[in-house]
A = this chain, B = another copy of it.
Amino acid sequence: MKRLASGWKVSGIAVGFVPTMGYLHAGHISLVHNARQRVGSKGQVVVSIYVNPTQFGPTEDLAKYPRDLAHDKKLCREAGVDVLFVPSNAQMYPEGYSTYVIEEHLSQAMEGASRPTHFRGVTTVVSKLFNLVLPDVAVFGAKDFQQAAIIQRMTRDLNFPVKVVVAPTVREPDGLALSSRNKYLSPIQREQAVILRQSLQHARNAVAGGPVQATRLLDEVGKRIATASEARLDYVEFFNPKTLEPATVVKRGTQMALAVFLGKTRLIDNATL
């Protein structure tokens, strides 16, 4: 990968990069198309597949995170990916590994509060991948809104020569955001998973008429989720989409994010209201 990347640099070839954990779906492929559009037909599009252990907590689903490299390869070929980069743990975290990249502000709330070491793993592995792939453009999905904000901040703060693009979430016909973790859902959980999108829609409708207290919306969304037998709310947050500062009054343009367990499967979603 290093040899390819430095060769492209010297040849002035533009590189678009989509880092993933594999088990690819149409959401990932939309990122690939986005990258291709940005680098053109003469550019190189790289997809990495790496289930990064440092972004999983000790009780999380690292071991059983879904993997299907053969299918991933097929999708990448069909989507016109030039290089599929699949490093091993021994290559990424060799003996004596001891360096981490941390973002200390945007990473505190929401996913950071629910998953304390998660973002440190994300910023570390993305830094490593940026240095290995040397992309001009890297494309991330908007479903992981906080992740995208942190990676943009990290890229600016550490002066990575990379343009970070955040591309729209791809959804099932009923509104469920595509996620590799959707495959964990039982049929009844899958049916109830639409509650995330419905909660976002509910809030959007609520603020269409004017500003609303966050506490009131939290209460309404909580009650709505409580009606789904398999669902358990982890968090709902309203915040400024630029600074991630919490909003006490919610209005058009406020960002809403939520995490909901369906059985043991934790799903996230977000929207600009």
Contacts and interface: CB of A to CB of B under 8 A. Distances in A.
Interface in A161-200: 161
Interface in A123-155: 123-124, 127-128, 131-132, 134, 153-154
Contacts of A101: 99-102, 127, 158
A97 to B, nearest CB: 6
Interface stretch (A32-40, A45-53, A73-81, A103-111): A103-111
Contact of A154 (B99, B106, B123, B154): B99
Number of copies: 2
A98 interface: yes
A12 interface: yes
A156 to B, nearest CB: 8
A5 to B, nearest CB: 8
A127 B9 CA distance: 20
Contacts of A99: 101-104, 123, 153-154, 157-158
Contacts of A105: 96, 98
Contact of A103 (B9, B98, B153): B98
B158 A98 contact: no
A160 interface: yes
Contacts of A123: 99
A10 interface: yes
A12 B9 CA distance: 8
A189 to B, nearest CB: 36
Contact of A2 (B6, B157, B161, B243): B161
Contacts of A103: 98-99
29 contacts: A2-B159, A2-B161, A6-B161, A10-B10, A10-B12, A94-B156, A96-B153, A96-B243, A98-B103, A98-B104, A98-B105, A98-B106, A98-B157, A99-B103, A99-B104, A99-B123, A99-B153, A99-B157, A99-B158, A100-B101, A100-B104, A101-B102, A101-B127, A102-B102, A127-B127, A128-B158, A128-B159, A131-B159, A132-B159
Given A101-B158, A128-B159, 4 more contacts: A98-B104, A102-B102, A131-B159, A131-B160
- When A and B form their complex, which 9 residue pairs have the shortest distance between CB atoms, in order from nearest? A99-B157, A98-B105, A131-B159, A99-B154, A10-B12, A128-B159, A98-B104, A99-B103, A9-B9
Interface of A: 2, 5-6, 9-10, 12, 94, 96-106, 123-124, 127-128, 131-132, 134, 153-154, 156-161, 243
